Homo-oligomer: A and B are copies of this chain.
């Protein structure tokens, strides 16, 4: 079972431990934890619900710079002008991130449009051919085969080449911005697979959107551009070397994620807020402003290239991949007495969202257990594609909702089918179309374009299809399907309203209710708050709707949270990621650092024997990443006094360059180790096993003084958990040293020690730690 969990996890590659990411994945002090808490029965293999686990395989990012002597010397050498140049580089990078992200969005959009256009054209031709002669089952088969093959290509790429590119990538980016290192999530290969996969799956007619993956794509672009090199391409441009550390990289990744949101929804402010909501712990004005710049450039680039593509250069009217179309203020003005209705819709959205999430949760558990081999995953994806086509076709076939053909809708893929001439099948506008266009039709088609039965049927089928689709091994997002489901039932709500109130009035413009329904459903599923409000407002291009959308999202969140968590949080929990929320659980004041810390801690002396270091680093059972450096006190069995903190990655670089006291004395090393050596090795430090240390060298000594961080943050052991949490979260720490009154090291708090505690149904609960 543990093995199964591993197989389908985000990082489910066989070559994982010894593979590319290099740094051993364990951190903290799990050994002690086990001896303290876990009876043999408590071993992870036998725990059925794996969302109650916290995986030990995820590392933290180091948002706190290691201010060692090398770093300080560099900073002190740098002039004011140097800092200005760095600042300008940051702006340039953000501009590049925005530009490239916009460009990628543009490519995806055009590719999907082209592919889907060809597909719908072929199928439509075929359907029209067979409508009269009566062999429509052939059309169905053609449609299903076309969809399945497109999806198959996409699923194969994802499942066999880069499984982490599956899904929308938002949970992974959330984790990354939270400070968890998800292996391979920001690699170039992932980006390529993601982009290719999303084109296939959207063109393949699945109930998915291309918006979520944009966020992931933006993040990868950011991580790549900011480092000035690509390990996948084995190319180092020797620029931006200063930014090769977690602190800077994470800042740029926030900008990339924001640029992605911005390109996806044409919502630059929403993008900034998304990044802040998901990632920021410390708000910095300049950083935010840069993120905003990247967002703006991204939506502008997309807009610009799409305007050229559409042969209207300079007409900047498509700021995002999804365009809600223009809501004129007159038609969307709402009245005071409609607010309760909106709140009711929010509650419905919350309920449906909770249902969606619960169903998807069970499905994911099922997938974790039984659908974990790549070929099975591909087959499931193909099955879903075929079923989607079949269901769509039957819905269209059995629908008798014929609407008169407007003169302006000639470019959508209308199907006449059995309707009279000059009419089209209304069900086909929702099913026989890319989801983005369907959403727009639901928002803007004039009242009477859909009859209630059509909308009801559509809502139900699409709900289950979308729920089944999310979590497949294809690269695709859940935003658009949610919007589509919500828009459908929202429009239905708007249509039914006048019949219930028997006023038969005009005020219930169905398009308006479609918008509110879309917001409610999306809010009920993803449970985002401020950023989603702003994204929706920006996508509608009209601020009038701010208050209703906010109320709806709030209601949806409150109602939904009562039943189950948001979809992304569910998937994060199922991966057992040590995710830190905003605050420690409210009722955790009775816990102190002494209870939560890992102890005893393995410490080094300032002058440490190489053999000792190698042995400790090689010990796979205590795979620590941070080691306090201590000055031993007189009585040698007592813990030493803290004088610094050194990281595994630093020690590895030191060992690799053989920075030993004896060798330095004998002038064998040509040059002093510089910060550059650490940066060159970042972020894929070699594993300790790859470093050869001879028996003679094992007796040498290493002087850590220059390389350790001499001023790590510490807390006394009486500190309450919320206080520890606040310090840890606000500064984005990775290791927090716990000391006693004499500054002696008594423990070490890492991410897992804090993420373990959460508020369950029965008060404070503690998650168990697992190796998988």
Contacts and interface: CB of A to CB of B under 8 A. Distances in A.
A174 to B, nearest CB: 12
A287 to B, nearest CB: 8
Nearest to A337: B314
B716 A727 contact: no
A306 to B, nearest CB: 13
A543 interface: yes
Contacts of A326: 329
B544 A730 contact: no
B300 A583 contact: no
B75 A589 contact: yes
Contacts of A78: 586-587
B589 A72 contact: yes
Contact of A292 (B282, B288, B530): B530
A115 to B, nearest CB: 29
Interface in A710-764: 710-711, 713-716, 718-720, 723, 726-727, 730-731, 739, 741-743, 759, 763
Contact of A268 (B75, B304, B313, B546): B546
Interface string A276-292: 11001111111011001
Interface in A621-643: 631, 641, 643
A333 B720 CA distance: 56
A319 B289 CA distance: 26
Contact of A80 (B337, B587, B710, B714): B587
Contacts of A75: 589
B314 A582 contact: no
Contacts of A731: 726-727, 730
Contacts of A710: 716, 718
A296 interface: yes
A544 B540 CA distance: 11
A461 interface: no
A334 interface: yes
Contact of A730 (B282, B334, B550): B282
Contacts of A713: 715, 727
Nearest to A80: B587
A534 interface: yes
Nearest to A591: B76
Contacts of A237: none
Contact of A314 (B268, B336, B716, B727): B336
A642 to B, nearest CB: 8
A583 B285 CA distance: 10
B743 A741 contact: yes
Interface in A548-590: 550-551, 554, 582-583, 586-587, 589-590
Contact of A720 (B315, B554, B587, B711): B711
A631 B741 contact: yes
Interface string A522-540: 0000000110011001100
A542 interface: yes
Contact of A529 (B79, B285, B314): B285
Contacts of A409: none
A315 B75 CA distance: 58
A293 interface: yes
Contacts of A80: 586-587, 759, 763
A67 interface: yes
Interface in A248-273: 266, 268-269, 272
Given A272-B530, A284-B582, A730-B282, A546 B296 contact: yes
A464 interface: no
A720 B69 CA distance: 11
A83 interface: yes
Contact of A547 (B299, B590, B720, B759): B299
A250 to B, nearest CB: 14
Contacts of A296: 546-547, 550-551
B269 A534 contact: yes
A288 B554 CA distance: 13
A395 interface: no
Interface string A432-465: 0000000000000000000000000000000000
A490 to B, nearest CB: 20
A280 B283 contact: yes
A541 B545 CA distance: 10
Contacts of A547: 268, 296, 299-300
A695 interface: no
A331 interface: no
Nearest to A285: B582
A670 interface: no
A730 B27 CA distance: 26
Nearest to A278: B285
B282 A283 contact: yes
Nearest to A583: B284
Contacts of A590: 72, 76
Given A268-B546, A282-B282, A641-B742, 11 more contacts: A83-B587, A269-B533, A269-B546, A281-B283, A289-B529, A299-B547, A313-B336, A317-B333, A538-B543, A742-B742, A743-B743
23 contacts: A72-B589, A76-B589, A78-B586, A83-B586, A268-B550, A269-B533, A272-B530, A282-B282, A282-B283, A284-B583, A285-B529, A285-B530, A288-B529, A289-B530, A293-B550, A304-B336, A314-B337, A316-B334, A541-B543, A542-B543, A631-B741, A710-B716, A726-B731
